Chains A and B, each alone.
Chain A
């Protein structure tokens, strides 16, 4: 299995697109930090004043959380979709898949290896973003404790008390947030791998995967759907943010992990069953 993962990793990682992605993942956090540092936080420019970006100007330790909050909303979704949905379909499009499967290689093992490589790469992407943002943030804003001011409660009647987080606490929570964001792509990897087994056209599989996420985001915005929203793969993706804005470890993070694992079980099983029965025609 290790050999199979290694070969799939080399095939997926040693590509020009990997270099382009790496440059984006290093460049964008740096650009964001430079923008915040030079232009400051202006009311009405996408940050309501209490958000992570305003807080991040106090301490560079919080910059990774701020950067992840926007990059995990779309760019990292596209990258994860690309990595997962291209895994089988890309190999099929090259015509290489049939040669791999003419070896004594179990199809389920191959699928697991491909999904594992997609997961390894998206975790690496998230960590590159976090580390880059941390380095840039420390250079720009230093490593100070975080002071969160009192926030107006909902309806304006109650007021949430302010609090202070030590630098070590901020760093620990940033690490937890980074792991949670990376784990939040589990459902996407499962969906992408499933779609990848359905077609020999990588662009179709990538489009379907990212499309499901966009639809999920739209549905999640419709509050009338009530409990149905809790089963959407995107519903709990931002559940980590109250660690910094409300000084709590949210129970929603546990729910988010459960939802991700459920999608992994359902679509991972579906992908394996389909791939085992599939005629390789590419």
Chain B
């Protein structure tokens, strides 16, 4: 039975469901489903609709309509509403016809004039709404009426003359009716526009500003965005796009009819909302608009074909709109609940039998009280010193949870100062050959602080995993690092699925969500070298210039990875079965290595790791502070040799002086202890250690060219 569970959790991609729900595009499921449903229904009812000739014609109409819907979507995204698109469409149509039929202008001049008219209409809307802060609904309703009146006046005087002439321009007819490789011209232009706006809204500054303004005008303003100009521009673009659609309409039909664009604003609004663009702003995309446009167009077209009379088809469209909006609203409201239920996706993991830790046993893990005599540095003055490190002048550096690097001054470490501020939560640290302090910052990435306190970002992204659902190119939780003799920085990222403070979720999953990453300062490249690790944590060079040790916290093991030499790419477990959860690893003066166990295993949790279903239920039904947690109230420091033998352990049974150990650093005969949730740094005299040994000098040499 357990084997079945094991297979299921190894191969069934349960976590993908939750990851998909975190994506913004997962909002598109409802409209996409609606689109497929509509297409499916009419495919069954009316297969002739989907023959090639019919699809070509449909795509031509879809092109015009979807451009208008994209325009509406852009305005909606920025929190506005443009009811005047139908009138602008009509005005553009009549402008183009006047230019072509009456004035006899060349096509390029007609196109420019028409788009300029559209931009002008948009600019009027934009000025009134953006700069004078008049309500969008009223403003565009008024411009809808005014522009429509202008169109009517023009029609009264010129419609007959326009109708009497057919412009003598092949290009003009090509725009309206031509095809390229079987695709209508307007369709191809629409594709370009759609692609451009998709890139703009998702990748470009202007698009992000739009979403920001739509999501919260005040916040956008406080963030320093030019809200007025952004709003203004959305209407200008809306006008230009509506005019583009009107231009295609003019080229296609040459119609000076008075019904041009009547009701288009409602159809476009229906499509935009149906696609999932929020009426309140801040949420929307080009793809949503397109999906909505497809649904509305196919619905109306098919109803005409089936022979449903006008009034009833409008009613059906209205009904569909209501239904989809209702579904969409429910979806939005409940999406986070669903996400909370399904995102946490525990997997099967079986740990070997726990090693003996009883006091008095001959196990290297046997409990003792060797940490009881720890002296304290900076008690109550610092928060969250995850790691500690020393420079060549014996000053002590540690991070705190406010994003600072704190420096305690030698020799007594009584006085301290903020050495530098980075932000995030700095975690592991390492000095490089030139005495720069390299820091892994949770939530930010890999940073470097020069001796003159200049903070510089080294990297915050790596190559994205092929076909990964969540974007794992950003560094979420860079944890610990060490530097190869050639300057390459190897660091661990504990998990790509959770933020730092949700580490408990990752523990609950006990899946390999973490990875090892290499930053190469020579070409400033970053790439992932090892994936699917269980909360990779401490990293420490093995000393041979070809490999390093790293700890997998939830895996309770220490591995060695060769990045160079004959074994390049090999990864093997050197300490397989620890009694607790390993954290940082550092060098010891006697050639061995120190590792901190941040917490101890417990039989209950070990058993729960073999029951993913249990943990899943726990995650969804029980409050977080009632969960089975890794026990991080007790910890110890171990020493192990390069070939994986655990030599000795340092415990504090009372846990009074130093309750949690996440890292330790040996420096000049003392062992200094850091703890992620501690308010102090511990210092323990090591009687047998070399009193002159300092990690920095040992690794990089006593004298270096830089100083």
A binds B: no
Interface residue ranges, A against B (CB under 8 Å): none
Interface residue ranges, B against A (CB under 8 Å): none
